[in-house]
Structure 1
């Protein structure tokens, strides 16, 4: 097993890339953990927020463009997202700007809302601006919360020398859970055919 200093060196070099990718794909968990790493001095606060905001913004743009390009066919191609569409669709006509800004903060609507906004003809430039502001606020809040969690855990448990090992274990478990869920969903799709 690699030494803790080797893990920390690896995280200090590639951690921001992981934060970016985690914000694109997964969301809060990895970004929250990155805030704890900021507290521990492994990652810089400003660049971590920028990486998280950039990843969140890119994820929003991807799903918006999918919806805009493919229209309602996009929902047929992504049945998991289509299941959530009925929950969001009634709000789109009356509160599209609020949905564009707030979907990132509501569990289960982060992917479906940008896609539905894209299918519904929401103005692309307006979505870029609102998404950029929303992703930045979200990144500040989640990284900041992670920082506070790191501070609280340190105070509660005292100075833990191997907190990084715990964080790495949690990261590994989160990644394995994500891979298992993807495998499970793919297997279910194959069985349905």
Structure 2
């Protein structure tokens, strides 16, 4: 195992959990690719992603429940996504909790909306854990399934990265020198007047 893969194996689960909490799907799909490349166990990747997603969504739920009258919660509740979330919660409370991670625009507003609703904390906690596991499993599976395609694209891109980076650096230096000389020339013209 190279140093790079050792670092990924050591810190990958933490990065995946953090990415799942903050960013969402991209880090979880990347975790699936790491599982496909046998850097991490698929079970570890799913667990890390589910924990990251589940914890942040529970915290957002708790904020909605405990701080309903704060500026941040009121700002979140004033958006159009919040109104859609409340309508869905009223019609399909369990289904909404299990699926809001998959609905674009409801990732942050969804748990806050559940927090200001009348759904019990216990019900949310159980369904949130199940929903986080389903979501994590689905996106890890996508990364695992499409890992070879992604890796081949990355390998081709990195094969040409050094010449492209060198060419870009040369162009940047030439343009920088040209702009600098042009500005010096303008300054001299202004000084001569």
Query: Are the aligned partners of 1:82 and 1:112 in contact in 2 as well (CA < 8 Å)?
Result: no
Which residue matches 2:72? 77
- Structure 2 partner of 1:147: 144
Report deviation, 1:60. 1.2
> CA distance change for structure 1 residues 37 and 117 in 2, over 3 Å: closer, same or farther?
same
Which of 13, 16, 19 aligns to 2:13? It is 16
**CA 1:5 to 1:80, structure 2 compared with 1: closer, same or farther past 3 Å?**
farther
1:112-151, aligned counterparts within 5 Å? 112-151=109-148
**Number of residue pairs the alignment of both structures matches:** 157
What is the CA deviation profile of residues 22-66 of structure 1, one whole-angstrom value per residue up to 9, with x for unaligned ones?
111111011111111111111111111111011111011001000
Structure 1 residue 159: deviation in Å? 11
The 3 A distance-change label for structure 1 pair 80 and 45 is same
Deviation, structure 1 residue 122 = 1.1
Report the aligned-residue RMSD. Answer: 2.5
Distance in 1 between residues matched to 2:134 and 2:87, nearest whole Å: 25
Deviations 1:143-193 (A, max 9, x none): 010011113345xx4994998xx9xxxxxxxxxxxxxxxxxxxxxxxxxxx
Unaligned runs of 5+ in 2: 162-193
1:34 partnered with 2:31: yes
Contact 2:77 2:113 in 1 (8 A): no
- Higher gyration radius (CA): 2
Please state how far the C-alpha of 1:80 moved relative to its aligned partner: 5.3
Post-superposition offset of 1:95: 1.5
Q: Tell me, which stretches of 5 or more residues in structure 1 are unaligned?
A: 167-193
- TM-score w.r.t. the length of structure 1 is 0.73
In structure 1, what is the equivalent of residue 57 of structure 2? 60
Matched, 1:46 2:37: no
Corresponding residue number in structure 2 for 1:177: none
Measured against aligned partners, the alpha-carbon deviations of 1:70-95 in whole angstroms (never above 9, x if no partner) come to 12x24x31535642212222222222
